[in-house]
Structure 1
Amino acid sequence: MTSPETPRYVLPSATDATVVLRRLARDGWTTREGFALPEAGWDVTGNHLVLFGRVPDLDTVQLVVLAAARGAGVIAIADAGGDIGRALIGDLSRLGPVRRDTDTPAAAPETGTVDQLAPEQRALLDRLANGETIAAAAAAEFMSLRTANRRIAEARKLLGVRSTREAVMAYLETRD
């Protein structure tokens, strides 16, 4: 499994990629062009390896996602608005956050408080804390599953956590 600081970028140009690659190299990452990894050893997280290159087709998307799943950092050059870029971002997002600009990630995200949650977010988190599934909580709150998932994602972001479980725990710890 990859660590939270493993870099995952989808950038529009080689120039943008070069900026990020230089910064990562200064930070001790080993950079290598291409997305194929050697067969030996599945988990390469500890190697501090970043693979980079253009992503012209869906076969390359699969290589990028596999490399990221194995713990390598990836810097993919692709049009985020095109079919290939959207597929790549969608698949990489399942593994963790994907950056689409050259800015350095913030050291710690600014977090909000439970008081800043919308009433429907609170209601969903209450139901999840009581053991309901997201689907059951959505139905009980008269909203679609998609809307419930969006509200919970917004709550996670506001609370500065990565998982729904962490959001529920943060909510329970700080609510009245």
Structure 2
Amino acid sequence: MIDHPPRYVVPSATEATTVLRRLAREGWSTREGFAVAEPGWDLAPTRLVLFGRVPDIETVRLAVLAAARGAGVVAIADPTGDLGRALVDDLSRLGPVHRDPDEMPESAPESAVSRLVPEQRALLERLADGETIAAAAAAEFLSLRTANRRIAQAREALGVRTTREAVLAYVRQRRPGRRDADC
């Protein structure tokens, strides 16, 4: 069962339907469209998944805002087109984005490190090289608060409690001899 909001960008309505049916079976409620009228910022407790086509940049913005507020997103967009790439890039800043309707976060045979977003990997790489969180944040052009949030998300994804444990888990699981930019 998925315990965080799912994010999918798929190329067709058929694939979106596959994802939506599975999410509905797992207790998520689905609604077409990305505009959110619900009061309050945090939508995660509602287990709401918004879905639809992404025909323009305004819809990209609405989908990303909904995801930032904790809603799940199943977007129909060409992942190789400009809008699809922009959507995947923006959603990736919030967490993993799935492009395969059969891919489920818990069952994917990937390492925890591969599920980290690029900012998280970059921060952990810098921490592994001995930098402080403040120095790593500055080098990655992030505020200290954002860096701390990204590291906290990385700890959760890696299943550890401390930043030190996250760095150790990252170092053990990353590809040997490869830097984040090479992955």
Structure-2-length-normalised TM-score: 0.64
Contact 1:89 1:98 in 2 (8 A): yes
Aligned twin of 1:66: 65
Larger Rg: 1
Q: Which residue identity is paired with 1:61?
A: V
Structure-1-length-normalised TM-score: 0.67
Q: Which residue identity is paired with 1:35?
A: F
Q: Give the Cα separation in 1 of the matches to 2:43 and 2:34.
A: 13
Q: Which residue identity is paired with 1:127?
A: D
Please state if 1:51 is matched with 2:53: no
Q: Which has the higher mean CA deviation after the structures are superposed, 13-22 or 36-45?
A: 36-45
Q: Give the Cα separation in 2 of the matches to 1:135 and 1:50.
A: 32
Aligned twin of 1:127: 129
Deviations 1:30-79 (A, max 9, x none): 00000001151111110000000000000000000000000000000000
Cα gap change, 1:169 to 1:52, in 2 (>3 Å): same
Deviations 1:121-168 (A, max 9, x none): xx955423x53744999xxxxxxxxxxxxxxxxxx8xxx7399x4631
Contact 2:127 2:136 in 1 (8 A): no
Contact 1:29 1:49 in 2 (8 A): yes
Aligned twin of 1:140: none
Aligned twin of 1:10: 9
Cα gap change, 1:46 to 1:171, in 2 (>3 Å): closer
- Percent identity reads 60
SS in structure 2 at match of 1:75: strand
- Structure 1: where are the runs of 5+ without partners? 113-122, 138-155
Contact 1:12 1:77 in 2 (8 A): yes
Q: Give the Cα separation in 1 of the matches to 2:137 and 2:45.
A: 37
